[in-house]
Structure 1
Amino acid sequence: MLVAAAVCPCPPLLVPEVAAGAAPELAALRAACAEAVAELVTAEPDLLVLVGEGPQAEVWTEGGAGTFQRYGVPFGARLPSGPVSGPELSPALTVGAWLLTEAGVQLPTHACAVPADAPVDRMLGLGQGLAGLADRVGLLVLGDGSACRSVKAPGYLDDRAEAYDAQVALALGTADTAALAALDPQLSAELLAVGRAPWQVLAGAGQGADLEGRLRYDEAPYGVGYFVASWTRARAAAA
């Protein structure tokens, strides 16, 4: 059963060594991510699952690691549990592993990469399956919003981007699984919103879980929508 989730963006610039001189520009985002991960751990999950975009569907259950060498930084990050085995973690999952390392997390951890074009129903079903892996499951969901919020954004300026990101922010901030499930894959792809598939995994995992949402960060530095949110058990359910 899903007992908590943290939603974070996954730009490599979150890692100060990658950002180098620009590191202070994302200090507030980095702090919000740290707070969300800390709250996730406070829920005491039996199993933590990272979900993020990757070139193909892959699952890591026995440990795994990724690297930041493609960004000119000679180190990487690994999942907290298990040996380093299997394929390299996708860039999004590597950022997630780095967040867990920074937080000192020592929990049994799996990771799941999902393609950006994955069908909605498959992502919802995957989320339901992940929620059933243990009595108390926590998710760390990695994904960015639209990359079309300004003329300097990776996808240039698209007038639809701001409304799309506002819809996502509202859904994440209120733990609205139906709204996340309703995100359109085609529009998401046109706006370069790579978080769509991971967020819909979260929607599937959260169905019927009685969770409350809290939006910790909602900004678009560099023209890309970044959100940080926490989903925790509703007070009445937790009592």
Structure 2
Amino acid sequence: MIPRLAVLPHPPLLVPELVSGAAPDTEPVRSACLAVARELAAHSSEWVAVAVDPSGPRVVEDVAGTFRGFGVDVRVSLSDDASSVDDDLPLPVLVAAWLREQVGVRRVRVHLVPPDLPVAECVALGERLGGERAVLVLGDGSHRHGELAVGRSDERAGTFDEDVRKALATADRGALRGLDPVLAAELGAYGRAAWQVAAGVPGGWRCTWSSFLAPFGVGYHFAVWEA
């Protein structure tokens, strides 16, 4: 089968139980994520995910966890036969597990990388993932968009996320490799390292679908690539 690579954000608002009355407002982001996840699930029942967390580099697999730290005890697991429980799993791991369950995937193994991982090391990890059939890349864009910005608004956020959007929409791995880690950190775009892992995954990629949303001051990127 043709390899697939999917790019998604990982905000906790994806989980309806965590946003209660705000669920309708968050539905566009949730629907887009689930549409991409279903596309990846149709291709493979086992995923390899890449995400950013200060606890990286490490691999997390076959474990269950909870969103309790985000307000509600919603239990999720990374596989149908998870062998252990960790109540302190990072958010992107929990979101990967939630997506897995929503679309009926058997297992997802998550590679966590630190937010300051150098570009060359990101690309090298992507190269090592070249034999995987279904790769899920989780990462958020800048959180400095407009009046709803988590931090102070920054006029550079729009240009930065537009560059990311174009790179994902054209499967331009060179443009992704060229993202500035320092600028990304200043803008709170911690998905930078995960996107640059994607830039290292070998293949003659083309983008079959992409989108960008920033409804809550945070940039959310969505894309599906096929080799």
Change (3 A) 1:126 1:116: same
In the alignment, does 2:198 pair up with 1:202?
A: yes
- Kept in 1: contact 2:93–2:110 (CA 8 A): yes
Partner Cα distance (2:217, 2:2) in 1:
32
Deviation digits for residues 113-164 of structure 1 (CA, Å, limit 9, x no counterpart): 11111111111101111223xxx42111111000001133112210100000
Counterparts of 1:109 and 1:188, CA distance in 2: 27
> 1:75-122 CA deviation, whole Å, 9 max, x = no partner?
23111254243855321121121011111112x431111111111111
The equivalent of 2:71 in structure 1 is 72
Q: Which amino acid aligns with 1:37?
A: A
Alpha-carbon distance in structure 2 between the residues aligned to 1:131 and 1:89: 26
User: SS state of the match for residue 39, structure 1?
Assistant: helix
Superposed CA offset, 1:56-81 (max 9, x none) = 211024x1233211121012311125
- The 4+ residue runs of structure 1 with deviation greater than 2 A are 41-45, 80-89, 214-217
- Looking at structure 2, the residues matched to 202 and 227 of structure 1 have their Cα atoms a distance apart, in angstroms, of 13
CA RMSD of the aligned region, Å? 1.9
For 2:42 and 2:6, locate their aligned partners in 1 and report how far apart those are by CA, in whole Å.
11
**What is the match of residue 51 of structure 2?**
52
Contact 1:81 1:109 survives alignment (8 Å) = no
Moved more, 145-154 or 191-200: 145-154
Structure 2 distance, partners of 1:141, 1:21, is 29
Give 1:188's aligned amino acid. Answer: A
Percent identity of the aligned residues? 41
Aligned residues: 225
> Which range moved further: 3-12 or 76-85?
76-85
2:3 match: secondary structure: strand
Q: Does 1:183 align with 2:179?
A: yes
Task: Tell me what 1:166 maps to.
Answer: 162
Sort the Cα spacing of 1:73 and 1:179 in 2 relative to 1 into closer, same or farther, 3 A.
same
Q: Would you say the 8 A contact 1:52–1:143 is kept in 2?
A: yes
TM-score by length of 1: 0.87
Query: 2:213 aligned with 1:219, yes or no?
Result: yes
Task: Note if 1:3 corresponds to 2:3.
Answer: yes
Paired with 2:178 and 2:7, the residues of 1 have a C-alpha distance of 18
Contact 1:172 1:215 in 2 (8 A): no
**Aligned-partner Cα distance in 1 for 2:192–2:2:** 19
Q: Please give the alpha-carbon distance, in whole angstroms, between the structure 1 residues aligned to 2:22 and 2:129.
A: 36
SS of corresponding position for 1:10: coil
In structure 1, distance between residues paired with 2:169 and 2:89: 28
- Aligned pair in 2 of structure 1 residues 82, 110: CA closer, same or farther (>3 Å)? farther
Cα 1:82–1:119 change in 2 (3 A) is: farther
Q: Distance in 2 between matches of 1:220 and 1:189?
A: 18
Q: Which runs of 5+ in 2 are unaligned?
A: none
- Deviations for 1:12-31, whole angstroms, at most 9, x for unmatched residues? 01110011111111212211
Which position in structure 2 is the counterpart of 1:92? Answer: 92
- Is the 2:41–2:104 contact (alpha carbons within 8 Å) kept by the matching residues of 1? no
| Paired AA for residue 119 in structure 1 | P
Report what 2:112 is aligned to: 113
Q: Partner amino acid for 2:48?
A: V
Q: Give me the whole-angstrom Cα distance separating, in 1, the residues matched to 2:122 and 2:81.
A: 26
